Structure 1
Amino acid sequence: MLRLIPLILFSLMSLQAFAQDSNELTTPSITSLTAKLPDTKLRDMNTLIEQLVATEAPQVRKLLSTLLEGDLYFIRSNDQVVIAIKTESQYQLTDILTGTELASSSKSAIKKYVPIIGYVSKSVLL
Protein backbone atom coordinates (compact mmCIF):
# COMPACT_ATOMS: atom_id res chain seq x y z
CA MET A 1 0.00 0.00 0.00
CA LEU A 2 2.78 2.45 0.88
CA ARG A 3 4.42 1.76 -2.45
CA LEU A 4 1.33 3.06 -4.23
CA ILE A 5 1.49 6.51 -2.63
CA PRO A 6 4.65 7.63 -4.50
CA LEU A 7 3.22 6.23 -7.72
CA ILE A 8 -0.03 8.14 -7.25
CA LEU A 9 1.82 11.35 -6.38
CA PHE A 10 4.07 10.97 -9.40
CA SER A 11 1.03 10.42 -11.64
CA LEU A 12 -0.71 13.51 -10.27
CA MET A 13 2.39 15.62 -10.78
CA SER A 14 2.73 14.34 -14.34
CA LEU A 15 -0.89 15.17 -15.09
CA GLN A 16 -0.47 18.65 -13.66
CA ALA A 17 2.65 19.25 -15.76
CA PHE A 18 0.84 17.97 -18.84
CA ALA A 19 -2.09 20.31 -18.15
CA GLN A 20 0.27 23.28 -17.82
CA ASP A 21 2.07 22.36 -21.06
CA SER A 22 -1.17 22.01 -23.00
CA ASN A 23 -2.45 25.29 -21.54
CA GLU A 24 0.74 27.07 -22.65
CA LEU A 25 0.23 25.73 -26.16
CA THR A 26 -3.29 27.13 -26.38
CA THR A 27 -2.58 30.47 -24.69
CA PRO A 28 -0.89 32.90 -27.08
CA SER A 29 2.29 34.47 -25.78
CA ILE A 30 2.80 38.21 -25.53
CA THR A 31 5.41 37.95 -28.30
CA SER A 32 3.02 36.38 -30.78
CA LEU A 33 0.20 38.77 -29.82
CA THR A 34 2.44 41.82 -30.14
CA ALA A 35 3.54 40.61 -33.56
CA LYS A 36 -0.13 40.76 -34.63
CA LEU A 37 -0.45 44.46 -33.76
CA PRO A 38 0.74 45.92 -37.10
CA ASP A 39 -1.81 43.90 -39.11
CA THR A 40 -4.77 44.06 -36.73
CA LYS A 41 -7.81 45.92 -38.03
CA LEU A 42 -9.41 48.46 -35.73
CA ARG A 43 -12.54 46.33 -35.35
CA ASP A 44 -10.39 43.43 -34.04
CA MET A 45 -8.23 45.55 -31.73
CA ASN A 46 -10.48 45.09 -28.69
CA THR A 47 -10.11 41.30 -28.88
CA LEU A 48 -6.34 41.56 -29.28
CA ILE A 49 -6.04 43.90 -26.30
CA GLU A 50 -8.13 41.54 -24.17
CA GLN A 51 -5.82 38.68 -25.17
CA LEU A 52 -2.77 40.76 -24.28
CA VAL A 53 -4.20 41.59 -20.86
CA ALA A 54 -5.06 37.92 -20.30
CA THR A 55 -1.38 36.96 -20.66
CA GLU A 56 -0.68 38.88 -17.44
CA ALA A 57 2.81 39.59 -18.77
CA PRO A 58 4.56 42.53 -17.10
CA GLN A 59 5.19 44.19 -20.48
CA VAL A 60 1.46 44.59 -21.19
CA ARG A 61 1.07 47.59 -18.91
CA LYS A 62 3.97 49.38 -20.63
CA LEU A 63 2.63 48.47 -24.07
CA LEU A 64 -0.88 49.77 -23.37
CA SER A 65 0.28 52.94 -21.61
CA THR A 66 2.63 53.69 -24.53
CA LEU A 67 -0.28 53.13 -26.89
CA LEU A 68 -2.41 55.60 -24.90
CA GLU A 69 0.40 58.15 -24.88
CA GLY A 70 0.71 57.91 -28.67
CA ASP A 71 4.32 56.71 -28.68
CA LEU A 72 3.72 53.17 -30.00
CA TYR A 73 5.12 52.61 -33.49
CA PHE A 74 6.31 49.74 -35.61
CA ILE A 75 9.27 49.53 -37.94
CA ARG A 76 7.99 49.33 -41.52
CA SER A 77 10.68 46.92 -42.72
CA ASN A 78 10.08 44.17 -40.16
CA ASP A 79 6.89 45.10 -38.21
CA GLN A 80 8.80 45.19 -34.91
CA VAL A 81 6.76 47.02 -32.28
CA VAL A 82 8.72 49.85 -30.66
CA ILE A 83 8.46 52.93 -28.52
CA ALA A 84 9.48 55.94 -30.60
CA ILE A 85 10.41 59.21 -28.93
CA LYS A 86 11.17 62.16 -31.16
CA THR A 87 14.56 63.71 -30.65
CA GLU A 88 15.92 66.62 -32.70
CA SER A 89 15.59 65.21 -36.21
CA GLN A 90 15.21 61.48 -35.57
CA TYR A 91 13.16 59.09 -33.45
CA GLN A 92 14.85 57.13 -30.67
CA LEU A 93 13.50 53.56 -30.79
CA THR A 94 13.14 51.12 -27.92
CA ASP A 95 11.87 47.54 -28.22
CA ILE A 96 8.53 47.41 -26.39
CA LEU A 97 9.01 43.87 -25.05
CA THR A 98 12.65 43.84 -24.03
CA GLY A 99 13.33 47.53 -23.37
CA THR A 100 16.42 47.30 -25.58
CA GLU A 101 17.47 50.60 -27.13
CA LEU A 102 17.59 50.39 -30.90
CA ALA A 103 19.20 52.70 -33.44
CA SER A 104 17.63 56.07 -34.13
CA SER A 105 15.34 56.19 -37.12
CA SER A 106 13.76 58.63 -39.51
CA LYS A 107 9.99 59.16 -39.50
CA SER A 108 9.67 57.46 -42.89
CA ALA A 109 11.08 54.17 -41.52
CA ILE A 110 8.42 53.81 -38.82
CA LYS A 111 4.65 53.94 -38.64
CA LYS A 112 2.55 55.12 -35.72
CA TYR A 113 -0.38 53.16 -34.39
CA VAL A 114 -3.63 55.04 -34.66
CA PRO A 115 -4.96 56.24 -31.33
CA ILE A 116 -7.50 53.74 -30.05
CA ILE A 117 -8.34 55.29 -26.74
CA GLY A 118 -11.86 53.89 -26.93
CA TYR A 119 -10.38 50.40 -26.94
CA VAL A 120 -7.87 50.79 -24.16
CA SER A 121 -9.55 51.52 -20.86
CA LYS A 122 -7.39 53.26 -18.29
CA SER A 123 -8.81 50.80 -15.76
CA VAL A 124 -6.85 48.06 -17.58
CA LEU A 125 -3.66 49.89 -16.68
CA LEU A 126 -4.43 50.13 -12.95
Structure 2
Amino acid sequence: MLFLFILVAGAVLSYVGPWWVIAPVCFAGCWWLPRHAASAFWQSAGAGALLWVGYSVYLHLATGSGLAAQVAGIFTGGAPFAAGTGGMVLMLVVSALVVALVSGFSGLAGLRMRQLARPGRRRGE
Protein backbone atom coordinates (compact mmCIF):
# COMPACT_ATOMS: atom_id res chain seq x y z
CA MET A 1 0.00 0.00 0.00
CA LEU A 2 2.78 2.43 0.94
CA PHE A 3 4.78 1.53 -2.18
CA LEU A 4 1.76 2.12 -4.42
CA PHE A 5 0.88 5.39 -2.65
CA ILE A 6 4.39 6.74 -3.18
CA LEU A 7 4.40 5.72 -6.84
CA VAL A 8 1.02 7.28 -7.65
CA ALA A 9 1.33 10.45 -5.57
CA GLY A 10 4.96 10.90 -6.57
CA ALA A 11 4.16 10.48 -10.27
CA VAL A 12 1.35 13.02 -10.17
CA LEU A 13 3.32 15.57 -8.18
CA SER A 14 6.56 15.01 -10.15
CA TYR A 15 4.71 15.90 -13.31
CA VAL A 16 3.79 19.36 -11.98
CA GLY A 17 6.37 19.93 -9.24
CA PRO A 18 10.14 20.02 -8.78
CA TRP A 19 12.39 16.95 -8.72
CA TRP A 20 12.57 16.86 -4.93
CA VAL A 21 8.80 16.46 -4.46
CA ILE A 22 9.40 12.75 -3.82
CA ALA A 23 10.79 13.57 -0.34
CA PRO A 24 7.57 15.13 1.04
CA VAL A 25 5.53 12.34 -0.55
CA CYS A 26 7.62 9.68 1.23
CA PHE A 27 7.49 11.65 4.48
CA ALA A 28 3.69 11.98 4.32
CA GLY A 29 3.21 8.38 3.24
CA CYS A 30 5.21 6.98 6.14
CA TRP A 31 3.49 9.35 8.55
CA TRP A 32 0.07 8.29 7.30
CA LEU A 33 0.68 4.55 6.75
CA PRO A 34 2.57 3.31 9.81
CA ARG A 35 5.24 0.69 9.18
CA HIS A 36 8.32 -0.66 10.83
CA ALA A 37 11.47 1.41 10.37
CA ALA A 38 13.12 -1.01 7.95
CA SER A 39 10.07 -1.35 5.73
CA ALA A 40 9.48 2.42 5.77
CA PHE A 41 13.03 3.03 4.57
CA TRP A 42 13.18 0.27 1.95
CA GLN A 43 9.70 0.77 0.52
CA SER A 44 10.26 4.52 0.24
CA ALA A 45 13.70 4.00 -1.31
CA GLY A 46 12.44 1.40 -3.76
CA ALA A 47 9.40 3.40 -4.83
CA GLY A 48 11.44 6.59 -5.21
CA ALA A 49 14.12 4.88 -7.30
CA LEU A 50 11.57 3.09 -9.48
CA LEU A 51 9.65 6.32 -10.03
CA TRP A 52 12.83 8.25 -10.85
CA VAL A 53 14.13 5.64 -13.30
CA GLY A 54 10.74 5.22 -14.94
CA TYR A 55 10.22 8.95 -15.33
CA SER A 56 13.76 9.43 -16.67
CA VAL A 57 13.33 6.69 -19.26
CA TYR A 58 9.94 8.09 -20.24
CA LEU A 59 11.35 11.59 -20.71
CA HIS A 60 14.30 10.28 -22.69
CA LEU A 61 12.13 8.20 -25.02
CA ALA A 62 9.34 10.77 -25.37
CA THR A 63 11.52 13.77 -26.17
CA GLY A 64 14.32 12.06 -28.06
CA SER A 65 16.67 14.87 -27.11
CA GLY A 66 20.36 14.41 -26.49
CA LEU A 67 20.26 16.12 -23.11
CA ALA A 68 20.77 12.87 -21.17
CA ALA A 69 23.81 12.01 -23.29
CA GLN A 70 25.26 15.50 -22.78
CA VAL A 71 24.79 15.32 -19.00
CA ALA A 72 26.33 11.84 -19.01
CA GLY A 73 29.32 13.29 -20.89
CA ILE A 74 29.72 15.99 -18.26
CA PHE A 75 29.70 13.49 -15.40
CA THR A 76 31.98 10.95 -17.07
CA GLY A 77 34.36 13.53 -18.48
CA GLY A 78 34.18 12.00 -21.92
CA ALA A 79 35.85 8.80 -20.71
CA PRO A 80 35.93 6.20 -23.48
CA PHE A 81 34.53 3.40 -21.31
CA ALA A 82 31.45 5.46 -20.50
CA ALA A 83 30.74 6.79 -23.96
CA GLY A 84 27.25 6.58 -25.43
CA THR A 85 24.69 4.38 -23.79
CA GLY A 86 27.07 3.23 -21.04
CA GLY A 87 27.40 6.78 -19.75
CA MET A 88 23.66 7.28 -19.72
CA VAL A 89 23.15 4.04 -17.81
CA LEU A 90 25.87 5.05 -15.34
CA MET A 91 24.20 8.43 -14.86
CA LEU A 92 20.82 6.75 -14.37
CA VAL A 93 22.21 4.35 -11.75
CA VAL A 94 23.96 7.12 -9.81
CA SER A 95 20.87 9.33 -9.84
CA ALA A 96 18.67 6.37 -8.79
CA LEU A 97 20.98 5.74 -5.83
CA VAL A 98 20.77 9.39 -4.80
CA VAL A 99 16.97 9.50 -5.02
CA ALA A 100 16.73 6.16 -3.18
CA LEU A 101 18.71 7.60 -0.28
CA VAL A 102 16.69 10.83 -0.25
CA SER A 103 13.33 9.07 -0.37
CA GLY A 104 14.35 6.33 2.06
CA PHE A 105 15.57 8.73 4.73
CA SER A 106 12.54 10.96 4.14
CA GLY A 107 10.21 8.02 4.70
CA LEU A 108 12.12 7.02 7.83
CA ALA A 109 11.88 10.59 9.10
CA GLY A 110 8.11 10.57 8.52
CA LEU A 111 7.75 7.38 10.54
CA ARG A 112 9.93 8.68 13.36
CA MET A 113 8.05 12.00 13.50
CA ARG A 114 4.77 10.09 13.75
CA GLN A 115 6.19 8.04 16.61
CA LEU A 116 7.48 11.19 18.29
CA ALA A 117 4.17 13.03 17.96
CA ARG A 118 2.06 10.12 19.21
CA PRO A 119 0.48 11.29 22.48
CA GLY A 120 0.73 9.15 25.59
CA ARG A 121 3.73 7.23 24.36
CA ARG A 122 6.54 7.01 26.88
CA ARG A 123 10.13 6.13 26.26
CA GLY A 124 10.80 2.44 26.61
CA GLU A 125 7.24 1.21 26.02
TM-score range, shorter chain: under 0.3
The alignment's TM-score, normalised by the length of structure 2, stands at 0.26
Instruction: Tell me which protein shows more strand as a share of its residues.
Output: 1
| Greater radius of gyration (CA) | 1
Instruction: Tell me which protein shows more helix as a share of its residues.
Output: 2
The alignment's TM-score, normalised by the length of structure 1, stands at 0.26
